[in-house]
Structure 1
Amino acid sequence: MGRELDRRVPERALSRIRLTYRLDDGREREIAVPPGVTVFDAASWNGIAVDSTCGGHGTCRKCGVRIAAGAAPPTSLDGRAYSPDRLRDGWRLACRAVAQEDLTVEVPPLTTRPKASTVGVGRQVILRPAVQKRYVELVEPTLKDQRSDLERLLDAIDDLEPAAGLAVLRRLGPVLREADWKVTAVIVDETLIDVEPGDTTGTAYGIAFDLGTTTVVATLLDLTAGTPVAAASRLNAQQPFGADVITRISATMMDASAASRLRDLAHETLADLAAEVCAEGGVAPGHVYEIALAGNATMTQLALGLDPEPLGVAPFIPSARAIPSLHAADLGVRVHPEARAAMFPALGAYVGGDIVAGLLASGMDRDRRVRLFIDVGTNCEIVLGSAAGLTATAAPAGPAFEGAAIRCGMRAAEGAVETVRLTPDTVELGVIGDTEPRGLCGSGLVDAVAELLRTGLLDASGRLATPDEAPAALAPRLTEVNGERVFVLRGDVYLSQRDVRELQFAKAAIATGWSLLLDETGTDVADVAQVLLAGSFGSYLSPANAVRIGLVPPLALPRIVSAGNVAGEGAKLALLSLRERTGADALLQEVRYVELSDRPDFNDLFITRLAFP
């Protein structure tokens, strides 16, 4: 904790050294810091993204950088992370590389930019956005007609009774007279936010954000046509503070300034994406009148500048479940100055607005069939829906699916193994970017374990076979690294015995979650009509392998489907339809939350679920 409290680089110091960071896009950043600061801390506090899933605590071993000039002696942790050749080449863990002299640091790519879906919301909705535009041609005032400018405008749109603030009143008079009294009134949720010269009724846009812990996705929508115009995504700039919400909450508890920094990083990510989709779509930012944002409770509170600490300690209480209407500027999004922001309500500390958005998009609130909604991730949210209603819980799966805590784990980036297939004499790998493999991402981890189970190289307890127990062609792949049994996939990329255990813990937490929900509601697993795998990870997970490792119920494969980015789809719905937005608010009262830790049988069932089927 002591090191964490002193992580911010002081503005004044008796002596300074220079760190030059070479970024993967060819740029260089030079930073002056006092001696004794780690390469990771200096980068984090100056907006340079270094890959990390533990927030610089030295546990994930993902923050590798290359010291191209200067000296940073390797630590014992570096020795466990890198081969002697890599150490001689200058590779170090940034969180352990203490700068005592000028250094030049090469920073590898954090990740490739994930692809953003550009499809529509996937189901029919009645187009009724909160944003409305009315073109009117007003009669000029006379001595006989001395109505105020505002009265004259409101009388022309008498079916609406919008309120008007000071900002629009300041514009109203000049615009009316310059436009010869022919103007378009812009109304958002019963508030007059602007008056534009001429007829601009065909230009009304909104941006839907999925504010994920790892990835943030933005979709620009034409609100007059109900269609997407452009989409973009990028890593959440908060990544240097940790891969999961617990690590980020911990950062704010150990450093009073971390919360404001995390807020600013969230705003930076949202603002950059808004600018990108507007540029790609050829839309002036001033014509974006509303944004909608779906995120988990921690991401939402950090973006709003609310203290996240109560979310991280029992009894896990959010500042508010429903967030009142805001301005987009409150979230750092630079669009129309008076643009509004709608945020999805949270069901609780660990079932947030992203899940509410997902339930809305998937129609769980309207379906009488028995369906399981599973958002697979570090914190796995599970919702069981039926004619009797909706019941939700959260399962602490841990970061294995994000590649953390896995020896050769990495995010779904170029070089990540995403699919694995074993044949009697070889291993077939699917690698993102069709390059040489650099590591194993979540879907590749599930595939690898499932294939080892299928071929008998892994037993139900999770024990890897010995070379003597394997087919001759595959036996050389079963070897040891640092005294631990591993299965080599290719080159330096392998699956270790410890990796298998990490996956067992993750899948057991999730399986315990849905099992207890079924028990809580008196539902038989055979009655489940559909399992929806949500989130970016769920979209790439093989249903067959999810069943094989016991992650999801043992159902016929057609019943297990990828729901895609339903949080983002729900945010689109909120922009396109006030009725759908009202439905999201209603879910606060309709969903019953079950706290797993309150169940006395949780631990026993968790232990049972550790074994593979």
Structure 2
Amino acid sequence: MVEIVVRKDGTARTFSVKEGDNLLHVLIKEGVAMLSPCGGKGICGKCKVIFKKGAKAPTDSDKKHLSEEELNKGMRLSCGVKITEPIEVEIPLTSDAIEVLTTGDDEIGDVDPYVVKTYLEMSLPSIDDQRSDLKRLQDALGMEDLYVNSELLREISAIMKDSNYKVTACTFKGKLISLEPGDTSKISFGVAIDIGTTTVACYLVDLTSGRVVDVVSGVNAQRPYGADVISRINYTTQQEGGLTTLRDAIVNQIAELIGKLSAKTNIPMKHIYNVTIVGNTTMTHLFLGLPSTNIAVAPYIPVVTSLVDIPGKEMGIPIAGYISVLPGVASYVGSDITAGILDCEMHKSETYSLLLDLGTNGEIAVGNKDRIVACATAAGPAFEGATIKCGIGGVKGAVSKVDLDSEKIYTTIGDAKPIGICGSGVLDMVSEFVKHEIVNNMGRMQDPATLDLTENIKKRIVPSTDGGKEFIIEGNIVFTQKDVREVQLAKAAVSAGILILMKEAGITHDDIKDVYVAGGFGNFMDINSALTIGLLPKEFTGKVKSVGNSAGTGSKMCLLSKNEIDDINKISTSVKYVELSGRRDFEGLFVDQMTFDE
């Protein structure tokens, strides 16, 4: 065994590991939050550690991704470190402080949940009334087919007798999930959850009033295993026990977040009766522990897209009632999109609207009350920093805004010293490049000597180590020619997807009256920057509305209303999914959309 010391955020932990273990795998296993978008393949260059003791010579991957200054101070990529002797490392960046989007539509709508609490004062048993306790309960509720599981069945007689047959019954879709002494009919809570690829948001909701009591959130605990769904699917197939590892990571995190809500509000877990969950199809599969291999390979068939109700205790989440995983559409359009459609009321509208959910993945829906079509694009990693050289999440010190006309050209989250650039900053950067003609319409960075710019801006455009050019934001924080290409690929995928859906629906830009932008990156991005680079068509100017976390809002709506559950079920079965890889016209549109308007 080899002893290693890991320092992060001013604290140190010591681990004993097997000789030959991979450092990144050890850090992930021990719960040390790491940036590792590629899942440890040595591609992203994000899993940085600084050696205080035991540093080895840099690998080729280290030399490719790290500057000479970084290498000289002992920085290495943890995925390339084989532990053979005692080492001491420091984690330079925290990946668990990302700003999580939890805001959305707070208006309380229909409050008529499937969770029903009924106070009962039953007649006492007697020689003349020898009904069983279960029959007495069924009669009092008027539910002849009331289902009671074996665990609760063993308890009902004692509860009824001890409370003199004055009890509150809590039911969910014809099942008894709790029997409580006395009148607790006004004490009823649920949790609505949005499992994003990058973040998780949990809303504690009063099921009697519809009020959101509290909200907690965090970075998805699966993130160290890969930034996108394909990386995580690959982890489940390439690593022994990979599926169990990812399932346990998210289930334990959700149990912890619900526990945190319970502790903060003094609401016991036993009074949480339903949890609604939305997410993309891979996230819901991994939560349920379902194999997701077939999602990643043609013809892209998931295990399930319909509503799944499962007891919380069976999932390992200690609530009294059921976990409801809400329905999606297909392998790449999940319940986060059906929930977003529900929130935006696209399915009720006479006019056409477009919903664009931009997070780690990009999903698009276009339609009205008569027809909705949807697709998915691989857009998110660039806009969340995963494929950008100095890209990071929305953490303190991330460059979040860029304006080349200002004296200080950038703004960071928390006004801290810059440590990288996040999605909104990435979008602004390319928008500024287009506006100031630093890139041409093909996206190539120009010779600064040919540009009509201030000397302060010109001197920032320098040759990069990969043979192209890069723009110095501050110190070692740069934006490269390759980064521009990554944004071009992402924006082309989104804009081509929009055009395909419009073509499928038989409509034009003019027919679309509202454009709803949702998701983490979508909420924080500058709309004008998105229009400038063509991520959104210029014809949408004046139509774009940010709707925050529409997936989380839709999850809350379903938690509170049977009617909304009915609606989301109808949405999931009526939306037509368009598989872009199967469209002959997509490739041509994608290539056309790679350019920037002159």
Q: TM-score, normalised by structure 1?
A: 0.93
User: Structure 1: how far apart are the matches of 2:586 and 2:103?
Assistant: 40
Matching residue's letter, 1:94: S
Could you report, residue by residue, the CA deviation over 1:58-109 in whole angstroms, capped at 9, with x for unpaired residues?
A: 0111101122222333212222333333323221111012211011222231
Equivalent in the alignment of 1:194: 178
Equivalent in the alignment of 1:13: none
**Matched residue of 1:516: which SS?**
helix
Could you report, residue by residue, the CA deviation over 1:358-390 in whole angstroms, capped at 9, with x for unpaired residues?
A: 111111111121111111234311111135310
Deviation at 1:327, TM superposition (A): 1.1
Could you report, residue by residue, the CA deviation over 1:117-164 in whole angstroms, capped at 9, with x for unpaired residues?
A: 366x44452210111111112222111221111222222222785322
Could you report, residue by residue, the CA deviation over 1:493-551 in whole angstroms, capped at 9, with x for unpaired residues?
A: 12111110110000001111000111122211122111111111110111111111111
What is the CA RMSD across the aligned residues, in angstroms?
1.7
Say if 2:399 and 2:420, in contact at 8 Å, map to a contact too: yes
Equivalent in the alignment of 2:305: 321
* Structure 2: gaps of 5 or more residues: none
Equivalent in the alignment of 1:229: 213
User: Structure 1: how far apart are the matches of 2:88 and 2:313?
Assistant: 37
Say if 1:111 and 1:411, in contact at 8 Å, map to a contact too: no
User: Structure 2: how far apart are the matches of 1:205 and 1:68?
Assistant: 49
Say if 2:101 and 2:519, in contact at 8 Å, map to a contact too: no
**Matched residue of 1:132: which SS?**
strand
Equivalent in the alignment of 2:418: 437
Matching residue's letter, 1:545: S
User: Structure 1: how far apart are the matches of 2:512 and 2:307?
Assistant: 33
User: Structure 1: how far apart are the matches of 2:221 and 2:177?
Assistant: 31
1:32 correspondence with 2:14: no
Equivalent in the alignment of 1:531: 515
Report how many aligned residue pairs link the two structures. Answer: 593
Matching residue's letter, 1:384: V
Q: Which has the higher contact order (CA 8 A, sep 6+)?
A: 2
Say if 1:118 and 1:228, in contact at 8 Å, map to a contact too: no
User: Structure 2: how far apart are the matches of 1:219 and 1:398?
Assistant: 24
Equivalent in the alignment of 1:595: 579
1:480 correspondence with 2:441: no
The farther-off stretch of 434-443 and 247-256 is 247-256
Say which of 429, 432, 437 aligns to 1:448: 429
Matching residue's letter, 1:415: G
The farther-off stretch of 68-77 and 477-486 is 68-77
* Structure 1: gaps of 5 or more residues: 1-15
Deviation at 1:317, TM superposition (A): 0.2
Equivalent in the alignment of 1:75: 59
Say if 1:368 and 1:385, in contact at 8 Å, map to a contact too: no
* Closer, same or farther: CA 366–377 of 1 in aligned 2, 3 Å: same
Alignment of 1:27-426 (within 5 A): 28-34=13-19, 36-107=20-91, 108-115=93-100, 117=102, 121-158=105-142, 162-336=146-320, 339-397=321-379, 399-423=381-405, 426=407
Matching residue's letter, 1:476: K
* Closer, same or farther: CA 160–508 of 1 in aligned 2, 3 Å: farther
**Matched residue of 1:531: which SS?**
strand
Could you report, residue by residue, the CA deviation over 1:469-495 in whole angstroms, capped at 9, with x for unpaired residues?
A: 232331111112313311122222121
Matching residue's letter, 1:370: Y
Percent of pairs identical after alignment? 36
User: Structure 2: how far apart are the matches of 1:152 and 1:325?
Assistant: 27
Equivalent in the alignment of 2:439: 458
The farther-off stretch of 589-598 and 505-514 is 589-598
Runs of 4+ in 1 over 4 A off after TM superposition: none
Say if 1:535 and 1:564, in contact at 8 Å, map to a contact too: yes
1:20 correspondence with 2:1: no
Deviation at 1:457, TM superposition (A): 1.9
Matching residue's letter, 1:448: M
Say if 2:114 and 2:173, in contact at 8 Å, map to a contact too: yes
The farther-off stretch of 142-151 and 296-305 is 142-151
Matching residue's letter, 1:479: V
User: Structure 2: how far apart are the matches of 1:159 and 1:25?
Assistant: 59
Matching residue's letter, 1:458: V
* Closer, same or farther: CA 101–264 of 1 in aligned 2, 3 Å: same
**Matched residue of 1:393: which SS?**
strand
1:468 correspondence with 2:453: no
* Closer, same or farther: CA 264–431 of 1 in aligned 2, 3 Å: same
User: Structure 2: how far apart are the matches of 1:62 and 1:39?
Assistant: 14
**Matched residue of 1:95: which SS?**
helix
Say if 1:407 and 1:495, in contact at 8 Å, map to a contact too: yes
**Matched residue of 1:302: which SS?**
helix
